[in-house]
Amino acid sequence: MSDELVAAAHRAAEEVKTRIQAIDHDSLDLLFREARSHNGWQDRSVSDDQLRQIFDLMKMGPTSSNCCPARIRFLRSEAEKERLEPAIVPSNKEKTNTAPIVAIIGHDLHYWKHFERMFPQLPPPVRKRHEENTAFAEETAFRNGSLQGAYFIIAARAIGLDCGAISGFDNAMVDELFFGGTRIKSNFICNIGYADISKMYRKFDRFHFDEVCEVL
């Protein structure tokens, strides 16, 4: 990377921190404090432009060595949701079938093939480890794909959509149906749309800082 590009990146980072010290309380409520995992949906569509907005925000979140392993299948059509249905556990079928968009969040085990583009400064021995150590690559893909899945939820909330993530499904069946012939593995499913608040549960308890955190 040229010195000019590095300097431009430094200037951009400094400008943002000068312009925005922190997001406001309403934004924190939207993203975290008052956000919910939803089980029911309004009859309102989600556009392709909104899906692109989600991805364009999600992709900016950090991953190790910029590996960016997340791969997503967005299911909108009834035919594709019907194809998915046998893989979903009974308690999750209705909320998934009725969601405007069902996003299958997966991760590419061959993410390392893109390092030349995504992180050209990566030392060759490190790149070789990703390529040749299968267990290490699988762990890296899963960890960073999960991170990107979390960014996905935050991005969807940030543009005004609601989410309901589920893990109650047959991963092997989903992989065969939607990632067959690839090195992509499913992680979790995230239903997105505009929530039907009447089907929402109360927000359950969370741990307090002192219960689970320790400053050493």
Strand partners, 64: none
Looking at the domain assignment, is residue 97 inside a domain? yes
Q: How confident is the model at residue 3 (pLDDT cuts 50, 70, 90)?
A: confident
Q: How far is the C-alpha of 157 from the C-alpha of 92, rounded, in Å?
A: 21
pTM confidence score: 0.94
Out of 10-14, 40-44, 118-122, pick the least confident.
10-14
| DSSP string covering 158-200 | HTT-EEEEE--B-HHHHHHHHSTTSSEEEEEEEEEE-B-GGGP
**pLDDT computed for residue 202 by the predictor:** 85
Looking at the domain assignment, is residue 1 inside a domain? no
**pLDDT computed for residue 13 by the predictor:** 85
In the chain, how many domains are there? 1
**pLDDT computed for residue 216 by the predictor:** 97
Q: What percent of the chain has pLDDT over 70?
A: 100
Q: How far is the C-alpha of 52 from the C-alpha of 15, rounded, in Å?
A: 26
**pLDDT computed for residue 1 by the predictor:** 59
**pLDDT computed for residue 208 by the predictor:** 97
Q: How far is the C-alpha of 38 from the C-alpha of 101, rounded, in Å?
A: 13
pLDDT in tens, 108-152: 999 999 999 999 999 999 999 999 999 999 999 999 999 999 999
Range of the domain at 109: 37-201
For residue 35, the tally of other CB atoms under 10 A from its CB is 16
Summarize the confidence of residues 198-215 as an average pLDDT: 94
> What is the dihedral sign for C-alpha 25, 195, 158, 70?
positive
**pLDDT computed for residue 155 by the predictor:** 98
Residues 6+ apart with CB under 8 A from 138: 109
Residue 182: both structure tokens together: 């690839």
Summarize the confidence of residues 22-41 as an average pLDDT: 96
Looking at the domain assignment, is residue 98 inside a domain? yes
106 φ/ψ angles, rounded to the nearest 5 degrees: -120, 180
Q: How far is the C-alpha of 12 from the C-alpha of 119, rounded, in Å?
A: 20
Summarize the confidence of residues 19-42 as an average pLDDT: 95
**pLDDT computed for residue 113 by the predictor:** 97
Q: How far is the C-alpha of 102 from the C-alpha of 192, rounded, in Å?
A: 6
Looking at the domain assignment, is residue 106 inside a domain? yes
Looking at the domain assignment, is residue 138 inside a domain? yes
Given a cut of 70, whether residue 193 has pLDDT beyond it is yes
Looking at the domain assignment, is residue 15 inside a domain? no
pLDDT in tens, 62-99: 999 999 999 999 999 999 999 999 999 999 999 999 99
CATH number at residue 185: 3.40.109.10
Looking at the domain assignment, is residue 17 inside a domain? no
